[in-house]
Amino acid sequence: MADVELSSQRWRSFPRLLGDIGGTHARWAWQASANSDLQDISVQRCQASATLLDSARTYLAASGHAHPHSAAIGIASPVVGDVVRMTNNPWTFSINALKQSLGVEHCLLLNDFTALAMSLPGLTASDLCPVGDGVAIAGAPIALIGPGTGLGVSGLLRTADGKYCALSGEGGHVTMAATDEREAALLSLLRGRFGHVSAERLLSGPGLVELYRASCELHGRIALSLTPAEVSAAAIHASDPDCVASAFHFTAFLGTVAGNLALTLGAHGGVYIGGGVVPRLGTAFDGALFRQRFEDKGRYQDYLRAIPCWIITASTPALLGASRALDLILAD
């Protein structure tokens, strides 16, 4: 009887408004019923709306949907308490006020990388690009890291009942460390500029630009005012040595941080790389260099060599992950 009631509660939570809100883009979708495909996926620039509620209302009006029963939204920010202040976006809002304004019965706000982590068990080979070798062990912890406007970090742990529990933290703000003299020089320069140099400071879209500027300064060259996309393009075409250096250091630092995360979680279920920066780097992302730095942990090299890594190529998996997170809450 309990299973029937839980199933009924989940069924009544549809239709759902689903969101994946980063520092730059707001992604929205509509899910009409349990297990149905997402409809009317839309990507808006966050700057186009004054608030999260405005962005949601713009989407609902444009897609012709009205009166969602529930909302599940991943957001690039810690979610602690009722008031959310986004890290790389000026939006600040109350979850309770958002729920009332949307008129929904359930309103789940969670970290965007927690939402992305919840999507991982449903990804297929066509949604992923492997980086190196290794074989995942079923049921083992899974790690997730993703450079975008910021650096998201999460993971999945399997519980005794066979379900997955997603981790919610701020691992992108760990202190970045150097592994050689060249990296030490880069970090020394950046510490003079920022004080604390976190992993996110380098492993993000803005981080590509900071690495480019630091390379220019170390080589006595004048840095141009480039965007992350321009740094990536110049690195891909090898048209600027400092952009090439930026992509090299980005790849190496990401391998170091991903290897640290894999060791911390014991991630024999694999390491997934999300976010938009790595796919946009294209051929400038050196998979062999990433694996070299991922595995370069002294006595634990063989331990890490056995762990597979994948780049997530699916376009909007966190939207479905947010819906799955709501399913878990309704089942409790």
pLDDT digits (tens, 9 = 90+) for 88-121: 789 999 999 999 999 999 999 999 989 999 999 9
Provide the pLDDT for residue 10.
Answer: 65
Q: Is the peptide bond before 15 cis (omega within 30 degrees of 0)?
A: yes
Provide the pLDDT for residue 274.
Answer: 95
pLDDT > 90 in the chain, percent: 83
Residues 10 and 72 in one domain: yes
- Is the pTM above the cut of 0.95? no
Residues 264 and 179 in one domain: yes
Residues 161 and 278 in one domain: yes
Average pLDDT over residues 307-316: 94
pLDDT tens digits, one per residue of 139-173: 999 999 999 989 999 999 998 888 889 988 889 99
Residues 52 and 168 in one domain: no
5 pLDDT tier (thresholds 50, 70, 90): very low
Residues 281 and 321 in one domain: no
Top pLDDT among 317 and 10 is at: 317
Residues 186 and 297 in one domain: yes
Average pLDDT over residues 234-248: 97
CATH of the domain at 174: 3.40.367.20
CB 107 within 8 A of CB 70: yes
The answer on pLDDT for 6 being more than 50 is: no
CA angle 245, 116, 27 (to 5 degrees): 85
Residues 145 and 217 in one domain: yes
CATH of the domain at 18: 3.30.420.40
| Phi, psi (rounded to 5 degrees) for 85 | -115, 115
pLDDT tens digits, one per residue of 190-206: 999 999 999 999 999 99
Residues 29 and 68 in one domain: yes
CB atoms inside a 10 Å sphere around CB 181: 8
Residues 216 and 302 in one domain: yes
The answer on pLDDT for 2 being more than 70 is: no
Q: What's the chain's average pLDDT? A: 93
Provide the pLDDT for residue 9.
Answer: 61
Number of compact structural domains in the chain: 2
pLDDT tens digits, one per residue of 69-88: 999 999 988 898 999 999 87
Residues 223 and 250 in one domain: yes
Average pLDDT over residues 24-35: 93
DSSP secondary structure string, 119-171?
HGGG--GGGEEE-S---PPTTS-EEEEEESSSEEEEEEEE-TTS-EEE----G
Average pLDDT over residues 258-271: 98
pLDDT > 70 in the chain, percent: 96
Top pLDDT among 327 and 310 is at: 310
- The CA-atom distances, in angstroms, between 315 and each of 20, 116, 120, 151 are 11, 11, 13, 18
Beta carbons within 8 Å of 274's beta carbon, 6+ residues apart: 113, 116, 144, 145, 146, 148, 152, 312, 317, 318
Provide the pLDDT for residue 77.
Answer: 87
The answer on pLDDT for 3 being more than 50 is: no
d(CA 32, CA 15): 4
Residues 306 and 185 in one domain: yes
Provide the pLDDT for residue 332.
Answer: 64
Residues 71 and 129 in one domain: no
Average pLDDT over residues 124-142: 95
CB 71 within 8 A of CB 19: yes
For residue 18, the enclosing domain spans: 2-118+316-331
